[in-house]
Amino acid sequence: MRCIVAFIICLAVCGQAEVLAAVKPSTKSDPKNPAKKQQPMSSNLAEKTLTHTNRLAQEKSPYLLQHQHNPVDWFAWGNEAFEKARRENKPIFLSIGYSTCHWCHVMERESFESEDLAKFLNEHFVSIKVDREERPDVDKIYMTYVQATTGGGGWPLNVFLTGSLKPFYGGTYYAPDNRYGKPSFLQVLTEINKSWGTRNASILKSADEIHGKLVDFTEHEPSRDAALVPAVVRSAAKLFKQEFDSTHGGFGRAPKFPRPSQPSLLLIDARRSGDLESVKMVLHTCRRMAAGGIYDQIGGGFSRYSVDERWLVPHFEKMLYDNAQLVQLYLDAFLTSGEIGMADVARDVLRYILRDMTHPGGGFFSAEDADSEGKEGKFYCWTKGELDKILSAEELKFAIDFYGVTEKGNFLDHSDPDPLPNQNVLRIAREADGRAHPEMLARVRQKLFETRSKRIRPHLDDKVLSSWNGMMLGAMARAYSVLGDPAYLQAAEKNLAFLKDKLWDHSTQTLYHRWRDGARDSVQLLDAYANLLAGVLELYQATLHAPHLQFATELTRSMIKKFYDPKDGGFWQSDGEAKDLILRVKDDYDGAEPSGNSVAVLGLLKMAALCETKEWKEAAEKTLRLFAAKMQQSPQGLPCMLAALDFSLQEPKRVVVAGDLSSPAGRALIQAAHAVYEPNKIVMGTTGPVDPFAATLQPKPNEKAQVYLCTGNTCQLPTSDPKTVKELLLKKP
């Protein structure tokens, strides 16, 4: 594997060096103020509309629509662009991003709104825009290339392709001028155009060779030697603990991403191993994140990541997938510790989602931007002078102390040539003050919320993705199970109904990925099926409503039919019908989002336990074997897969609730089953497509409902006492 990576890098570096051999910065930038020469382009939509409208105006993606008035002659990803590039023998300039990406906005402002740069692009390139959230399969291929050849990645992702869609040069953000000795974007374009004309055969050959090595690089072979044993999970947990920041919480250095899958795995391991140190690390991390600026102290919800190690200054965009996973983590932390503050954070996040991120029909929107009025963080930050106008003298003193407000502020947007001064990101500086004066805190927070609500909100990416909705559906359903608020159950049921109406074709058993503005796409993605399956499983376990389990079986069968590789195991990221991809990839990286393979494996294991379907368990185990070596060698990349492995290492506890589930006694037993932190359990009823043994279990005479706690087909005596259910679940396996 290392040899393949090295060869890819060698080919690409040699090719890129050849392409850009003549590129040299014409002037030196000021290293103390690299943005000094920047002049922000006009972002006035009306002005742009009068001047330019390109074909992206016909798209549904909010990201593509943001670029519909650029002077660049953008194409969407598709045959029209590919055929033009081949017909005119032009290289493709592929630019990938998402609508709430701060640096995507910066590059648009600096480059894609430039008439001169657009003229050059339009003459010499075929330019394509892709929304990475709609097409993660396209993004994965070209991100893999850029990461392998440059050692880094991110968005905007800018890659140059041949007409056969094979990459030959790429990077991320390109500045409009020379900074730190690097060439400007126009210089890069100029030299690539020159090389395309003078070294075309060499570029095409290099692209073919790189493509071949990328195919090898992304292939997986099952490991015959790697053992699937508890020691693999234990070893990974120990490695994660070495990265722990004992001061500020979290794992690794700045920039810090919450990445909930990592602390979640530590809790899973601690349940099996009894490692209390791991539990303390996770709880400390949860407390520090909730106290930091990465958490919206006024409106709820987490930003994508913190630029510093203290969780203080975030990039302010809020993503649905982050918040869904963090709700699950804080519910785990609450069940593990009993700290009501952990439950309060989960409630606050869900309050934000239901208030600001929910379609009237029940779908969940994708994200909110970091910027408003062209300024990052403007909606969220405060000056001391603003607070002085809003709060009484007593409230002001409290707010300054509690939120750590200063005259100078703690945030300055260095990407902005004219940044707002004296901005404060609110964080909890003196937690004891809030505990001592809860009424004061509530009053201050309400006043700030009401004032902030009058500001211009950040852009809302209002597309509904079945993959991310599956995550939040699961978070809502589990929050109902753990916290008991019926509003969460109502939201979960409404969300599933919306997804089935807008994105599920019952006649063909097909799940589509994106719905927006009355239209759905035609894309088939593993992430959509796997994450919605996970969400439906949470909803089923919260309600034991048999139709939900029936729908889960339909999703499972379709997922296996479309994406599963019966030869080697594992799931392809896209189905075999996708003709616009140069690779079929089995995604294996649990990053900000869990990989489709990891989610699919855990879903299959749970479905096999619920329905006693042997082939589903075998598919899960075969997939685990495919990734076994990587779980041992690079566990940091697969915490969700490791969680699935842990689930597979023993028969899960099956909490079978028999009898009248709608009765108070039935509801109390279901809630008791969810009131204990036990990651290797499933909760099930006795009707619908459950396994035949569970269907035979009934409550004793004169009992409306009872619980059978079973391992496989071996059950303990039934109980109708919720306390006894909790005690039985707390016993270690």
Give the 3-state secondary structure of residue 403.
Answer: helix
708: its two tokens: 């059978």
Yes or no: say if 122 and 73 are a contact pair by the CB < 8 Å rule: yes
Yes or no: say if 372 and 379 are a contact pair by the CB < 8 Å rule: yes
Instruction: Give residue 3's pLDDT.
Output: 40
Yes or no: say if 153 and 92 are a contact pair by the CB < 8 Å rule: no
Q: Do domains 2-218 and 651-733 have the same CATH topology?
A: yes
Instruction: Give residue 7's pLDDT.
Output: 40
3-state SS track over 278-309: HHHHHHHHHHHHHHCCCECCCCCCECCEECCC
Cα 541–chain centre separation: 23
Instruction: Give residue 41's pLDDT.
Output: 32
- Inform me whether the pLDDT recorded for 572 exceeds 80: yes
Q: Judging by DSSP bridges, how do beta strands 126-131 and 92-97 pair with one another?
A: parallel
Instruction: Give residue 18's pLDDT.
Output: 53
**What gap in Å lies between CA 708 and CA 719, rounded to an integer?**
7
Type of residue numbered 443: R
- Inform me whether the pLDDT recorded for 733 exceeds 80: no
Yes or no: say if 423 and 411 are a contact pair by the CB < 8 Å rule: yes
Could you give the strand order of the β-sheet that contains 75-76, starting from the edge strand earlier in sequence? Answer: 75-76, 126-131, 92-97, 157-161, 167-171
- Inform me whether the pLDDT recorded for 35 exceeds 70: no
Q: Taking the domains of the chain in order of start, what are their residue ranges? A: 2-218, 233-356, 380-454, 651-733
- Inform me whether the pLDDT recorded for 128 exceeds 70: yes
Indicate the fold that domain 651-733 takes in CATH: Glutaredoxin (3.40.30)
- CA 76, 79, 82, 85: dihedral to nearest 10 degrees? -100
- Inform me whether the pLDDT recorded for 304 exceeds 90: yes
Instruction: Give residue 50's pLDDT.
Output: 56
Among all chains, which residue has been given the structure tokens 């075999």?
576
- Inform me whether the pLDDT recorded for 32 exceeds 70: no
DSSP one-letter code for 652? P
Instruction: Give residue 217's pLDDT.
Output: 79
CA terminus-to-terminus distance, the chain: 38
pTM given for the model: 0.92
**What gap in Å lies between CA 33 and CA 286, rounded to an integer?**
36
Instruction: Give residue 2's pLDDT.
Output: 39
Instruction: Give residue 19's pLDDT.
Output: 55
What one-character-per-residue DSSP string does 360-412 give?
TTSPBP-EE-SEETTEETTTT-B-HHHHHHHS-HHHHHHHHHHHT--SS-SB-
333: its two tokens: 């932390």
Strand ranges in 584-666 using DSSP code E only, listed in sequence order: 653-659
Yes or no: say if 346 and 330 are a contact pair by the CB < 8 Å rule: yes
Instruction: Give residue 15's pLDDT.
Output: 53
Please name which of 357, 358, 412, 405 lies closest in space to residue 383, comparing C-alpha atoms: 405
Work out the average pLDDT over 482-508.
Answer: 98
**What gap in Å lies between CA 210 and CA 212, rounded to an integer?**
5
Residue range 395-436, pLDDT digits in tens? 999 999 999 999 999 999 888 889 999 999 999 999 998 889
**What gap in Å lies between CA 263 and CA 633, rounded to an integer?**
19
Q: What is the percent of the chain with per-residue pLDDT over 90, rounded to a whole number?
A: 84
**Alpha-helix runs per DSSP H in 52-157:** 62-66, 79-88, 102-107, 115-124, 136-150
Buried/exposed 338-364: b ≥16 CB within 10 Å, e otherwise: ebebbbebbbbbbebbbeebbbeebbb
- Inform me whether the pLDDT recorded for 36 exceeds 60: no
- CA 467, 472, 475, 481: dihedral to nearest 10 degrees? -100
Average pLDDT, the chain: 91
| Backbone dihedral angles phi then psi of residue 95, each to the nearest 5 degrees | -120, 120
Work out the average pLDDT over 487-505.
Answer: 98
- Inform me whether the pLDDT recorded for 10 exceeds 70: no
Q: How many CB atoms within 10 Å of residue 276?
A: 9
316 backbone φψ class: left, alpha, beta (φ>0; ψ -120 to 50): alpha
| Backbone dihedral angles phi then psi of residue 506, each to the nearest 5 degrees | -65, -35
Query: Which of the four CATH numbers 3.40.50.1000, 3.30.1330.40, 3.40.50.2300, 3.40.30.10 does domain 2-218 have?
Result: 3.40.30.10
54-63, 212-221, 343-352, 448-457, range with the lowest pLDDT: 212-221
Reported as a pLDDT band with limits 50, 70 and 90, residue 130 is very high
**What gap in Å lies between CA 166 and CA 581, rounded to an integer?**
10
